[in-house]
Structures are given as C-alpha cells and as structure tokens.
Amino acid sequence: MRPGPGGCCCRRTVRANGCVANGEVRNGYVRSSAAAAAAASQIHHVTQNGGLYKRPFNEAFEETPMLVAVLTYVGYGVLTLFGYLRDFLRHWRIEKCHHATEREEQKDFVSLYQDFENFYTRNLYMRIRDNWNRPICSVPGARVDIMERQSHDYNWSFKYTGNIIKGVINMGSYNYLGFARNTGSCQEAAAKILEEYGVGVCSTRQEIGNLDKHEELEELVARFLGVEAAMAYGMGFATNSMNIPALVGKGCLILSDELNHASLVLGARLSGATIRIFKHNSEFAAEFTAVYMRIYIFFSCFASMEGSIVRLPEVIALKKKYKAYLYLDEAHSIGALGPTGRGVVDYFGLDPEDVDVMMGTFTKSFGASGGYIGGKKELIDYLRTHSHSAVYATSLSPPVVEQIITSMKCIMGQDGTSLGKECVQQLAENTRYFRRRLKEMGFIIYGNEDSPVVPLMLYMPAKIGAFGREMLKRNIGVVVVGFPATPIIESRARFCLSAAHTKEILDTALKEIDEVGDLLQLKYSRHRLVPLLDRPFDETTYEETED
Amino acid sequence: MAVGSRTGPGSECQDPDWATERDPSPRPRARGLTQKTPTTNSGGGSRMNVGTAHSEVNPNTRVMNSRGIWLSYVLAIGLLHVVLLSIPFVSVPVVWTLTNLIHNMGMYIFLHTVKGTPFETPDQGKARLLTHWEQMDYGVQFTASRKFLTITPIVLYFLTSFYTKYDQIHFVLNTVSLMSVLIPKLPQLHGVRIFGINKY
C-alpha cells in the first residue's frame, strides 16, 4: 500500500520548477493569473510568441466517403454470408475441413472451444493470409529478400518454391534511422563486445546482472534525452508493464489515451489504479469527484496505426493545470522525430523536465531491443529498487547494449561523423516528400505531416488482399491491416519510412503505388493538393485546395 | 510491435459491466480498461492483429455505430424488397409480408441468436455467451443504434400493414413476427434465456 502525500519523498517526483501555477488553457494559449506570473513554467509558454506551438501542427484524418463505407459493409456482408455457407459445407463434409476440430468421441461432451470465435480467421483471414508472416532471408534494411511461397489449397498450407524474391523494397520495418544493418560500425562494435562479454548475463540487475556496460548505457541515455538519470530494461513491452505497477498503485488515477499500446494498458491494469480513457488527442475537462493521491496522464507519442503525434504542448499545459504527472511513451518517436532525433519533446522544442517519466524503446530507431525510462534521479533510484523488471527480469545482453551505445553516439554525433544528423534529416525529408506525393496522387492518408508512419486507407476488405499482393508482385513489401485490428471501415496499408530509403527507392515505390492505386481505385480523397505548392498549408494560402 | 501475453493477474478495475446502465457520453467515461494485446498463434495461423489501431476490447460493440451502417442497413432492406418484387406471380401484399418476415427472421438470427464474436477478443470471453444485441455498446441501453434498430422493424410493420390492406392473416403473421423481434430488445430481457434456450 502506497503512503499518502505526506509519505516518503523518494516515492514522489519533485519537479524542478516548483509548484504549479494557476493557469487556464484557452484556445491553446496559456494565460496566467497575476499572482502566478513568477512561476517559471508560465513564462516558458508565454515567450513562445504567445502560443504553445512553434511550428504548424498539421494533422488530418479525412472522413470515409459514404459510398465507400456502404460498399465496405456490402463486402463484409458478402464475406460473412459466404463464410456461413462454407461452414455449413464443412460441417456436412461436402467440403474438406482443414482447421482443427474436436474428435468424434468428444462431440458429446461440452465443447472445448467455441467454433464461432474463429469464424473470422477461417473465412476472412485465411483467404488473404499470404500477406502476413512472409518469411525473409536477409537483413531487413531498405531492401529485403523474401522467400517465395505458393499455396495450392487456398492458403491453408504453404510450400516454398525455392525462389527468393530479392531486393524487395521494405516499407514495413520500423527502421526509422536505418540502423537495421549487418555491416558498419555498430555491427563491428557489437561483435567485439560479444567476444569480450559473451552473449548474456543470465541474471537480474539486482543480483549479479549489472555490467559496467549497462551503467555506461544509462548515463548515455540520460545525456541523450536531457534528463537527470535513466534506466534500461531488456524488453520494451516489459518496460511499461513492469514499471507502471511500481510507480502507480491503488488510489491513483490514470488518464489514458484511447490509442495507447497494450503494454501501457497492461501495466495500468496490473497497478490497480482507477483508469479513465479519453478520446485520442482530444481536450478533456474532467471533474474529479473523488480525491486521488496522484494523477497520471499516459500518452503514446505515436499512435502507430494512425500516424498521429501527441499534442504535447497542450498536454503539458493540462498536466500543470491539474497538477498531474505525465508518463510519455516514446516507443516510436525517439530517434525519429525532432531536429536532433531526441523525440517528441525535441520536435516541439519543449523542456524535457516538463515530462515526469519519459519512456522509450530501443527497438525502432536504434536497431536493438529493450526499453528505457528517464526522469529525475530520485525517480530512477526508486525504480532501481522497486521496478519489477530490475528484480525479476534478466538484464540486457551486452552486444545489444553495445549496439544501442554505438547507434546513440552516432545519432548524437559523438562518433566523429555527421552520419547521425544526416540520417535524422533524411528521415524528415523522406517523410515530407512521401506524404506530399501520396496526397497529391489523391490517396487518403491519415496522420501528422511529420510522422514517418504513413497509413494509406484501403477501406474494403478485398482491397486489403489485393493491395498486399499487387505490391509484392511489383517488388514492394507493405503491411496491410484490417478489421478487427482497425475499426471496421478503416482498413489500411501502413508504410514505415526509413532514413535508409533513398529518393530513388521512394520514387520507385511511389510510381508503383500510383499504378496500384489506379488499378484498385484507391484514390478516394476529395481534397486535392495543388502539386506546385511546396510550402506547408497555413492561414495565408487561400485558394490552394480544390474541394 | 511487442507481442504480449493475455491479461495478467492484475485486479479487475472498472471493467465493462454488462448489466448496468451508464451514460455513453464521449467525455471521460467509466468505461474501464481497454486492452489491445496482439497475440500470435503459430498453429492455425495468427490473427490479422499487426498491432491494433484502437484499444477497443470488443470491436463488435462499435460496429453498429460506424459511419454509413444505418444507410447500408436500410439499403439492404430495400434491395431485399426489390428482389422479392421481381418474383413473378407474387402479389404486392404477399411481397410486403415476405419482406417483413424475412427481415425480422434475419434480425432475430443475427442479433438475438448468434452469440459471441467472430474473432478472439482480449477480454477472456466475457462476450461469449452474449448475443450481438446484448454486446452492443457494452450493454448500455437506449443508445442511438439500439433505438434505430428498434424503430426500423416497427416502421416496416406499419408499411406492411398498409400495403396488405390490414388483411387478417397477414396481420397475424406480421404481428407475431414483429413481437419476436421487439421482445428480445427489451432491457428487462438483457441476458435472459427463456427455458434455457440458446444459453450455451
């Protein structure tokens, strides 16, 4: 049971900027009352030209056209009816049954599982299963080699033809800065450390698993983020699910974004706190009818399916208004956003001290595995003793640690080259170019202009399979997603851009996407951007969009 | 995307309570925990969950609220009616009664007979024994979709009564059919299984 507010100070993070002033948030601007003008936080906001955002924040989620929605339902309806028909045929042995069923002797007992729960898998997923879990046989950088496979029984089983499709453009890996390589300085350093330290430590951090490499990594991460201290963990998912129960307990309130990742949700659930969920990126004016010990706001920086970026300045203003703590999950945005690659805080030009708990993973931009939590030294010291992961989970493997250290030093520019800076800039350019060109072609693209995750809307279930297959025929590997992973009328193809993609690769991909878009009639957008407009759309551009 | 295991041993907090009424306002609602856990089964093929785009525990609850589904539903009834009208040697009153009967039968089967979800949900099977009507909006009564789906058979009934010229036999058939579709929608019958029919 956690102590109350008067309890041990090591359990609470103390902010450097003192207590919260009474400000109001109106129209995105923070106005401070006279008595609180001295508080450093308010002046910090007001000096930004009176606004919270230093740059235009362009995010768009164009609504589904009605005709497309109706046709999507027709598609799912037809598939459902055919699914029932096929189930009927399979039941009466007219058609061969490929999936697992109970044995004849067991039919009289209570059924082991509900057949209907696999209706979707049997009748919809199986038809287009060849778009997922494609086996690769090379390092998944900007290009990847995929093993060709064929199915003679409508995707129930696959046979390898023996061919390898070489050089498929990889638009599915979270390889934002291009560190998914098996050559280069990172690989050499990791190989050297492998020979020195071995593969793993087989122990937890608190027993004998704490290496000098781990301390070096944590000190580097803290410097990278601009926080006082940091702690690294072996698994990104576990960073959230194991540390949130250590920080939050019964009697606390968690305000959680709708699109938060499963790890945040699991950690929140394990902690036993009261949880309230709010719609993605919407303002909320909550009335607290109960008294809570601590209030936490959980945010993921990138909703990885939507490509939207959290409105961090507003969230921080809100956090100060309610005297809450902010827990920011930067799994995707660390390394990918911001002029120096330091994540969403860097992107908005804010102070890292405003975020109480900065969490991130090393899996996406750093080409490694694991996660970290950064914050005040007191917080991290507390986590070192109380985190479930520190007590029970094995610590990071040394070659992985070395990979993270090398890649992070590269991004920071400390290895003597400007490779890191170039990668960050290349990613930003790739993102803007790719999104702009897709919008010009007339596709509906969700999300923020600066987000390297680009969801392209497909809507109809048949187009999910068609898009994946047509793109593979043209040597491009994409990830497609449909219901129930997305809302029923919002199936999409998700492109993940990388600094490893050169402009030629992007141009090839765009040309093929254009072709497939015409073939499958995917150009649903009703807002066409004028192609000549090179600067971002702001209040001074008038008759630029044709509606 | 990390691969997570099913729900941990944590305490139950604010889980969607199927039987109570709650205000479905879009502001912070006591909707409890939503969780998206992309599980990958290697055996029979994994699900299409390449990381979910929303933390909706049971997507079935939101289907009837999606954009364009009401229009699609009305169009589907219209299509059924037109198909029946094109059968030769069938008079207009019979066609209307057939439309009403087939529509109500379809509604009864899909909304009040079929139980559970056609996909695995991360809520450990809370909805396995619930029909789609009971799953809608997590059991909150009198939402917009529920009202729409209650009113549609009634409107169809009025139209049918008019076009059958209030004939006695048609009246009996249509009324019985309407009752079979309206009674399961009553909030008092939420989760009720008469004589244990369709319980498991």
Q: Is residue A276 very low, low, confident or very high in pLDDT (cuts 50, 70, 90)?
A: confident
A63 contacts chain B (CB < 8 A): yes
Q: A490 and A399 in one domain?
A: no
Dihedral sign for Cα atoms in the order A482, A483, A486, A488: positive
Selected residues 127-156 of chain A with any CB under 8 Å from a CB in chain B = 129, 132-133
Report the pLDDT averaged over residues A341-370: 91
- For A195-247, how does the pLDDT look when each residue is reduced to its tens digit (9 = 90+)? 999 998 889 999 988 999 999 999 999 999 999 999 999 999 999 999 999 99
Number of domains, chain A: 2
Q: Are residues A344 and A443 in the same domain?
A: no
B28 reaches A (C-beta below 8 A): yes
How far apart are alpha carbons B190 and B135 in whole angstroms? 10
- pLDDT tens-digit readout, B138-158: 999 999 999 999 999 999 999
Inter-chain contact A485–B52, Cβ cutoff 8 Å? yes
Element (H, E) at B173: helix B168-182
Query: CB–CB of B48 and A482 under 8 A?
Result: yes
Portion 447-506 of A in contact with B at CB < 8 A:
479, 481-490, 492, 494
| A199 inside 8 A of chain B by CB | no
Q: Is the dihedral of CA B58, B62, B68, B72 positive or negative?
A: positive
Domain end among A412, A442, A466: A412
In a domain, A482, yes or no: yes
Boundaries of domain holding A107: 54-170+418-528
B59, A487: Cβ pair inside 8 Å? yes
Chain A to chain B, count of Cβ pairs less than 8 Å apart? 190
The residue to which tokens 């170019």 are assigned:
A433
- Is the CB of A304 less than 8 angstroms away from the CB of B51? yes
Whole-prediction pTM: 0.80
pLDDT given at position B57 = 78
The pairing of beta strand A143-150 with beta strand A59-60: unpaired
Higher pLDDT, B80 or B40: B80
Among A494, A377, A496, A420, which residue's Cα sits nearest to residue A179? Answer: A420
Burial label, A197 (beta-carbon count in 10 A; 0-12, 13-18, 19+): middle
Q: Indicate whether A32 belongs to any domain.
A: no
Contact assignment for A237 to B7 by CB distance below 8 Å: no
Query: Counting beta carbons within 10 angstroms of the beta carbon of residue A289, is it exposed (0 to 12), middle (13 to 18) or buried (19 or more)?
Result: exposed
Cis bond upstream, residue B153 (ω within 30): no
Chain mean pLDDT for chain A = 83
C-alpha–C-alpha distance, residues B14 and A265, integer Å: 13
* A222 inside domain: yes
Within an 8 Å CB–CB cutoff, is residue B109 touching chain A?
no
Among the candidates A378, A412, A446, a domain finishes at A412
Same domain, A64 and A158: yes
Q: What is the pLDDT of residue A102?
A: 79
Residue A296 has pLDDT above 80, yes or no: no
Whether residues A338 and A372 fall in one domain: yes
Contact assessment for residue A310 and residue A448, using Cβ atoms and an 8 Å cutoff: no
Residue A512 lies in a domain: yes
Q: Using the beta-carbon criterion (under 8 Å), do A486 and B54 form an inter-chain contact? A: yes
Question: Does residue A266 form part of some domain?
Answer: yes
Q: Looking at residue A156, what DSSP letter applies?
A: S
CA distance linking residue A371 with residue A381, whole number of Å: 17
pLDDT in tens, B98-138: 999 999 999 999 999 999 999 888 777 888 899 999 999 99
Chain B partners within 8 Å of A236 (Cβ): 2
Q: Give the span between the Cα atoms of A399 and A63, in whole angstroms.
A: 46
Q: Are residues A406 and A462 in the same domain?
A: no
DSSP A180: -
CA gap A283, A281 in Å, rounded:
7
Can you give the pLDDT at residue B23?
Answer: 37
> How confident is the model at residue A540, as a pLDDT?
54
- Residue ranges of the alpha helices (H) in A134-207? 185-197
Whether A442 and A395 map to the same domain: the answer is no
pLDDT over threshold 60, residue A373: yes
Shared domain check, A257 and A195: yes
| pLDDT of B189 above 50 | yes
Residues of chain A contacting B114 with CB distance shorter than 8 Å: 116
Per DSSP, the three-state class of A147 is: strand
Strands A159-170 and A229-233: unpaired
**For residues A299 and A34, is the Cβ–Cβ distance under 8 A?**
no
DSSP letters for A236-271: HHHHHHHHHHHH--TT-EEEEETT--HHHHHHHHHH
A-chain residues within 8 Å CB-CB of B4?
A: 237, 241, 262-263, 266
For A133-159, the pLDDT digits (tens) are: 999 999 999 999 999 999 999 999 999
HSE-CB for B100 with a 13 A CA cutoff: 29
pLDDT of residue A316 exceeding 80:
yes
Taking 70 as the threshold, does the pLDDT of residue A471 lie above it?
yes
Q: Are A322 and A357 part of one and the same domain?
A: yes
User: Same domain, yes or no, for A256 and A366?
Assistant: yes
- Using a CB–CB cutoff of 8 Å, tell me whether B23 touches chain A: no
Q: Is the pLDDT of residue A37 over 60?
A: no
ipTM of the complex: 0.77
Same domain? A335 vs A268: yes
The secondary element (H helix, E strand) that includes residue A25 is strand A23-26
Question: From A75, which residue of chain B is nearest by alpha-carbon distance?
Answer: B72
**CATH number assigned to the domain comprising residue A477:** 3.90.1150.10
- In a shared domain, residues A511 and A489: yes
Closest approach of A37 to chain B, Cα-based (Å): 31
Give a yes or no: residue A1 inside a domain: no
Which stretch of A106-110, A273-277, B23-27, B169-173 has the lowest confidence by average pLDDT? B23-27
Which of B23, B40, B54 to mutate against chain A (most A CBs within 10 Å)?
A: B54
- The pLDDT assigned to A544 comes to 46
Beta carbons of B66 and A271 less than 8 Å apart: no
Chain A, 231 to 290: residues with Cβ < 8 Å from chain B are 235-237, 241, 245, 255, 258-263, 265-266, 268-279, 284-286
Check B119 against A117: CB less than 8 A apart.
yes
Choose one of A359, A383, A412: the last residue of a domain: A412
Identity of residue A246:
A
- Looking at residue A7, its pLDDT comes to 34
The two structure tokens encoding residue A501: 């993609």
In a domain, A41, yes or no: no
Residues A202 and A221 in one domain: yes
Q: Say if the Cβ atoms of B50 and A271 lie within 8 Å.
A: no
Q: Worst-scoring range by mean pLDDT, A31-45, A57-71, A313-327, A403-417?
A: A31-45
Q: What is the pLDDT of residue A97?
A: 85
Give the domain CATH number at A382. Answer: 3.40.640.10
- Helix, strand and coil content of chain A, in percent to the nearest 5, comes to 40, 15, 45
3-state helix, strand, coil in chain B (%, to 5): 50, 0, 50
Rg (C-alpha) for chain A, rounded Å, is 25
pLDDT of residue A444: 93
Specify if A195 maps to a domain. Answer: yes
CB B37 within 8 A of CB A266: yes
pLDDT score, position A416: 83
Residue B199 sits at the chain A interface (C-beta within 8 Å): no
pLDDT recorded at residue A42? 33
